[in-house]
Amino acid sequence: MRLGIVYHMPFWRAADGTLRELEGSFARYVDSLAPYFDEISLCVPVLGSAAGEGTAVRAGNVTLAPLPAFAGPLQFYPRLPAMLPRLIAWARQIDLLHCRVPTPAAAFAFAAARWVRRPAFLLVVGDLRALLPSMPYRGARRLLWRAYTDFEERNIRWMTRRSLTFANGPALAAKHAGDGALVIETTTTTIGDRDIASRSDTCGGRPVRALTVSRIDPRKGLRILPGAIQRIVDAGTNITLDIVGPTVGGPGADERAAIVEEAARCGVARRVRLVGAVPLDRLLPMYGDYDLFVLPTLPGEGIPRVLLEAMSAGLPVVTTRVAGIPGLVTHEANGLLVDAPTADAVGDAMIRIVADGPLRRALIAHGYATARAYTLEAQAATMMAAVERELHLTLRHPSVLPV
């Protein structure tokens, strides 16, 4: 059986012949599904040259159905007339369609698949409408973004009513359930069974090393972090913070500048470092170099996969009580939740982790248990069992992956 996946994450063919993906989480997701199919065909933007190191797709049964490279909807829609024939031809060549949404090409691929009578399933990973308040656009650009959000929301609602749908976390599952939709809650992840660490404690040395892994854009709440570090330093703890992740577009560049400016204003410029993007294969081992993890994200997330990455590395987690996060993180069990992403609230939670050894060790232990329950292998097995059951299909068994 040939699975077709449509998404907006760019790929390229490296000099060694491997397929590589910019961020890495999607490449790992594709690898987790590969054992269940004879072939996976990726309908994704393909770059003409390498965009950094990237993360390789390891499965040998993954191929490309290239779309022209596009950075977002503003680049996608002007090219839609040229893309539609490709999407229709591609839909004829696959046996099952998988749309990871929101993404601009999904509704058109879905319509093509219905036209040629191919079954489909969705994975909803984010909430564009919830992101609207945090978008930095003004005037006409804000109106355009709102119109695009409304269009994508209608498309996703149309697709969920006509296919099996998985949703990342309880908030997204609740949003898309109803009106006859078959929606199953899942948790997207990047960690495998082999990624679970074993250390039982952190914060034993100085400085304490804090880590944030996130795209740099206004929707992530990162500009409060310098203030949180200042609060911790004022409380008497020597601490540093590394922020790892790419800068996303013009709004991301503005956010990066705001973080740098805020760090200087708070007197912690030497303690807060913006590292930039790190490929996932190198990022996962890096978590073990740190003492605690902090993510002050805003509404619009499903469940950020970096929380599971941190837990799997034995990092106690501080994050916000928004969107699907409380479905993964239980306050004072496997992490600390703050109700609002303010410098004071986040800083106080981080101080508590550093100061309270029994609490910290309990968070780490329960974090490991959470990570083990949400590995790529577990997620793929649950999802593919539902695909077989609900779509009446017979898939491969993981032990017979082509090499």
CATH 3.40.50.2000 given to domain 2-189+375-394: yes
What does the alpha-carbon distance between residue 125 and residue 358 come to, in Å, rounded to a whole number? 34
Return all residues near 138 (Cβ < 8 A) that are at least 6 apart.
none
pLDDT for position 183: 96
Least confident of 70-79, 137-146, 329-338: 137-146
Return all residues near 202 (Cβ < 8 A) that are at least 6 apart.
290, 291, 292, 314, 315, 316, 360, 364
Strands ordered across the beta sheet of 55-56: 55-56, 19-21, 11-13, 45-46, 67-68
Least confident of 7-16, 52-61, 124-133, 261-270: 124-133
| Region 3-16 average pLDDT | 93
Percent of the chain with pLDDT over 90: 75
Q: Pairing between strand 67-68 and 45-46? A: parallel
Q: Which helix (H) or strand (E) holds 351?
A: helix 343-355
pLDDT for position 72: 81
Answer CATH for 193-373 from 3.40.50.2300, 1.10.10.10, 2.60.40.1220, 3.40.50.2000: 3.40.50.2000
Nearest Cα neighbor of 391 from 198, 162, 236 is 162
Evaluate if residue 403 carries a pLDDT over 50: no
pLDDT for position 402: 38
Say yes or no: do domains 2-189+375-394 and 193-373 share a fold.
Answer: yes
Evaluate if residue 374 carries a pLDDT over 90: yes
Joined together, the tokens standing for residue 310 give 């941190």
Beta bridge partners of 291: none
For 89-181, where are the E strands, in sequence order?
96-101, 120-124, 164-168
Least confident of 40-54, 112-126, 230-244, 336-350: 40-54
* HSE, side-chain direction, 13 A CA sphere, residue 64: 20
Q: Where are the domains of the chain?
A: 2-189+375-394, 193-373
Percent of the chain with pLDDT over 70: 97
- Neighbour tally for 342: CB within 10 Å: 17
At 399, the pLDDT band (50, 70, 90 cuts) reads low
Q: What are phi and psi of 42, to 5 degrees?
A: -95, 115
What does the alpha-carbon distance between residue 322 and residue 337 come to, in Å, rounded to a whole number? 9
Task: Report whether 323 contacts 302 (CB < 8 A).
Answer: yes
Evaluate if residue 396 carries a pLDDT over 70: yes
pLDDT for position 198: 95
At 153, the pLDDT band (50, 70, 90 cuts) reads very high
Q: Which DSSP symbol is given to 272? A: E
88: left (phi over 0), alpha (psi -120 to 50) or beta: alpha
How do residues 262-303 score in pLDDT, each as one tens digit? 999 999 999 999 999 898 989 999 999 999 999 999 886 668
What SS3 class is residue 39? strand
What does the alpha-carbon distance between residue 291 and residue 30 come to, in Å, rounded to a whole number? 30
Cα→Cα distances 372→87, 126, 300, Å: 37, 23, 25
| Region 29-45 average pLDDT | 97
Task: Report whether 116 contacts 92 (CB < 8 A).
Answer: yes
